[in-house]
Amino acid sequence: MKNKKILENFKKTILTYEQKLNSLSEEELRIKPNENEWSAGQVYSHVIMAHNFLFINSLKKCLSEKAEATKLGKNTSGKLVYFLGGLPPGKYKMPKSVGMEPPQPESKEHIFMMLKKMQESMEELLPDVDTSEKDKKAKHPAFGMLNAKEWYHAAEMHAKHHLKQIKRIEKAISKKV
C-alpha cells in the first residue's frame, strides 16, 4: 500500500475514534465491561502510548543515522499481517516485553488533543518515510525487523485494529447503563 493511502486510512481511523469518543460520557469512558477487560478510555490510552512510544519512536529510529542496516525482515507473523493488510480478527495478548494495563485517561479533552497529535505525527513523517532506506530497520516485538515504511503502516494497522475493541466495549457498556 502506498504511504499516502496509509495516511488517508489513518486519518479516517482517527476521525472514527473522535466520533466514538464524542458518543461516550466521561463516566462511560472509564467503565470496564468486566475485571479482565480494559475500558474504552484504557484502549484510547494504549493506542496513543503505543503510537508515540513504539511506532513513531521505532519509525524515527529507522530514519536516523544510527539505524541498523540489515537484510533481516519480518517473521512469519509479520509476513501474514502485512499480506492481509491488518491483524486477523480476534483478541490478542500483547508481548510480555511491552505488556501492561494502560491507565485511565485524564479526560476526553486530553484524548482529543492526543489523537490530533497522532495524526500530525503521521502527516509530518510522510515525506521522510517516502524517501527512507529499505534496509534500515528496527525490531518489532511481534513482527520481526521492520523498516520505516513498514512501521508507518503498522501504526495505521494498530490503530484500526483497536476500533474493533472499542466497538465491543461500547456494546457491553450499553447493556450495563
**Interval 62-91: pLDDT, tens:** 999 888 799 999 999 999 999 999 887 777
Contacts of 25 (CB under 8 A, 6+ apart): none
CA 156 to chain CA centroid, Å, is 6
C-alpha cell at 36: 479482565
Give every residue of the chain whose pLDDT is below 70, as ranges.
92-99, 176-177
Query: Which H/E stretch holds residue 138?
Result: strand 136-140
Cα angle, residue 23 at apex, residues 19 and 158 outer, rounded to 5°: 45
State the amino acid at position 24 in one-letter form: L
pLDDT for the residue numbered 100: 75
pTM as predicted:
0.92
Question: For residues 8 and 110, what is the distance between their CA atoms, to the nearest angstrom?
Answer: 23
Helix (H, G, I), strand (E, B) or coil at 35: coil
CA distance 159 to 127: 21
pLDDT at res. 96: 56
Predicted local confidence at residue 144, as pLDDT: 96
Rounded to the nearest 10°, the torsion over CA 168, 169, 174, 177 is 160
In the chain, count H helices and then E strands: 7, 3
Query: What's the confidence (pLDDT) of residue 98?
Result: 56
**Rounded distance between C-alpha atoms, residue 4 and residue 9, angstroms:** 9
pLDDT for the residue 174: 82
